[in-house]
Structure formats: C-alpha cells, structure tokens
Amino acid sequence: MSRIQLLNPRLANQIAAGEVVERPSSVIKELLENSLDAGATRVEVDVEDGGVKLMRVRDNGGGIDKSDLPLALSRHATSKIRELDDLEAVATLGFRGEALASISSVARLTLTSNTSDESAGWQVTAEGRDMQAELAPAAHPKGTTVEVRDLFFNTPARRKFLRTEKTEYNHLDDVIKRQALSRFDVAFTLRNNNRAVYSWREAGTQIERERRVAQVCGPAFMEQALHIDIERSGLRLWGWVAQPSFNRSQADLQHFYVNGRAIRDKLVGHAVRQAYQDVLYHGRHPAFVLYLEVDPSTVDVNVHPTKHEVRFRDNRRVHDFIFSSLHHALAQVRPGDRLESETDAPEPALSGAA
C-alpha cells in the first residue's frame, strides 16, 4: 500500500460531486432549491444544449452578502443550519452546504448576487480548477443569478454518461415542473436555446393552481381529478388524485411532496397503491399530485444526498393516514366511474416517475 495522503480540495469536491451532480437536471434541482430557500417569488431558468453548455437560474430572493459570496462556494458552508439540533426540524430544501461547491468543481460557475434594493451587487467565479473565488462588482437587481457553463468539462468520464441533448433537456424540464408544482406562490420561467418555453405566473387562486397542474400534468388529468384536503391529528394531505378511470401503464404521473419537498418513498407508494387496489386493474398505475404536511420534527430529510427520500418517525401513522384519506376519497366516486377504461390516458407533460 502507498502512504495515506489528504486529497486536495478540488479533487475532494469532484468526488463528492458524484453524489449530487449526476446530470444537468441535478444542477437545476439544486439551484431551484436555493432560489426557493432564499424566498424568491420569481425564478427564471435559461438552458442551452440540454443544460450541458449553459444553465442559468435567476431569482429575486434575498441574495447573498458580499462577504459570504466566496463561502457560498465552499463545501460544508451553509446559512441554513447551525448545529445538530437544527437537523431535527429542517425547514429549508437545502442544508448540506455542498451543492454549489460540488457544481463549481465540475463546471464553470459564476455567482452574482445583491442583497439590497439598489442596483449594485457582487460576483464570484469558480472554474473547477483551484476553487479560488475572485470577487468583483457586478450590477444585479436584488436576488441571485447562478450561471453554470460546460458541465463536466474537466471530468470527461462523467461527461460520457450524458445522454442526448433532448434527453437531458427532458430531465431538467421535469425537475422544473416538479418544483413548479411544489410552489404555486412562485412564478417560473423556462427558456431553452433562447426560446421561451413557458412562463407561469404566481398561482394564488384555486383556479390558477388547477391551471398550473393542468399545464404540468395535462388537461386530461385535471378533468378527471378529485381535489382532496384532509387534516387529522397534525397531518394534512391535500392535492389532486385522478379518478380510477384515468390510469396509466407506468407510474409516470405521480407527484408526492412532503413539506414541499418532492420525494419518492416506498412507504408512501405502498399506501397509495393500497388505496387504489380495489378500483384499479392489476398492472395499472394511479395518477396524483399530493402534498403531505407534517410537523418537520417528525420527518428526517437527511437520508440521502439528493434528498429524494425521507424517513418518518411514525411510519405506521403516516401510512394509515395516507391510505385512509385516499381510500375514503376514492370511495366517494360513483361506481360507474370505476374500472371503466383500460386505455392509456394521453401522455402527460412529464416523463419521469415520482
């Protein structure tokens, strides 16, 4: 064996980046989470070449102090938690303090921000190389812009795993839509190769919210969807579930959020499947957009680097609540509405599975 050596910070970050930055859509996810955590009400995304050439996320959130800008790019640097106890009830989407460090180790990253209402602002740039952040003044309205260019330019092995521009674009489009469903109070814009794809205003009313759901999940879903909102002993489940007559051959129209965080969870999946069991043909999949709200101290979000998984303190209670809420809602549907259609519902706008 050779002697033990400390990895240099850049290499350490590049290795850590493997967990967080799989492809362009993972970058978009982290940048959107940061914008939402910063209290933005408007988020604009620009991408080129499926995100590989360029991803730019601009927000009108609180911004980053000039003196904090270099820190924002350091690993294990976060403004969101201070001590171990804070992990017990994380209220933000981020908390690990590694996204920007990881991204900047495998791409050319420019971070521009302004915390004041005057047109001012500062910029730091990091090019994977030395992680030395240089500060320079840069005009920017209140908020933050993160620009990520040439993803994996210095890690050719990772670059080889990227798919076609179209595939990568579809993945990041899914991520934005998933995030847009999590925050109706935020406006989202996407431009692809300098062409406007969509621009969704804040959705304050129920009608506006349902319009956004229809834009993401397709109008057919919305036409067949039951709106539910059930609260019981500190748990709340609300959203839209498709009547059993609207079902799919794949689990590709399933959105589940826990305290605003999009998650894929076995327990949740099982509870939902069980609720639909008697009203769906075998092998068919339900479609839903559901929001579970629980006391943050009863759910552990620090389970996985991409934060796609959570752990509930009381599994059984959460499972039973989801199951019984949905079971009850579906039982209200007229019997004639059930088991009607075996045909696939029209393709929704999303290609990824929840």
Under DSSP, the state recorded for 50 is G
Residue 59 contact, options Mg ion, ligand ADP, none, Cβ 5-8 Å cut-off depending on partner type: ligand ADP
With beta carbons less than 8 A apart as the criterion, state whether 331 and 273 touch: no
Q: Could you say which of 21, 27, 55, 64 contacts ligand ADP (CB under 6 A)?
A: 64
Closest CA to 171 of 297, 28, 310: 28
Distance CA 57, CA 39 (A): 14
99 binds Mg ion (CB under 5 A): yes
Comparison of 242 and 262: residue with beta carbon closer to ligand ADP: 262
Comparison of 99 and 329: residue with beta carbon closer to Mg ion: 99
Return the ∠ at Cα 58 (arms to 54 and 64), rounded to 5°. Answer: 115
61 binds Mg ion (CB under 5 A): no
Comparison of 95 and 291: residue with beta carbon closer to ligand ADP: 95
Segments in the chain forming alpha helices (H):
9-20, 24-37, 69-72, 99-105, 156-159, 165-182, 206-217, 219-223, 266-276, 315-331
94 binds Mg ion (CB under 5 A): yes
Taking phi over 0 as left and psi of -120 to 50 as alpha, with beta for the rest, 283 belongs to left
Strand partners, 256: 290
> CB of residue 318 vs ligand ADP: minimum separation in angstroms?
25
Selected range binding ligand ADP among 70-78, 161-169, 232-240, 339-347, rule: CB under 6 A:
70-78
Q: CA-CA distances (angstroms) from residue 335 to 221, 240, 245, 278? A: 19, 19, 10, 12
44 binds ligand ADP (CB under 6 A): no
Residues 88-127 within binding reach of ligand ADP (CB under 6 A): 94-101
306 binds ligand ADP (CB under 6 A): no
34 binds Mg ion (CB under 5 A): yes
9 binds ligand ADP (CB under 6 A): no
Interface with ligand ADP (CB under 6 A), residue total: 23
Return all residues near 134 (Cβ < 8 A) that are at least 6 apart: 124, 125
174 binds ligand ADP (CB under 6 A): no
Q: For the chain, what is the largest distance between any 2 Cα atoms, rounded to a whole number of angstroms?
A: 73
26 binds ligand ADP (CB under 6 A): no
- Binding positions for ligand ADP, rule: CB under 6 A: 30, 34-35, 38, 59, 61-64, 72, 77-80, 94-101, 144
- Binding positions for Mg ion, rule: CB under 5 A: 34, 94, 99
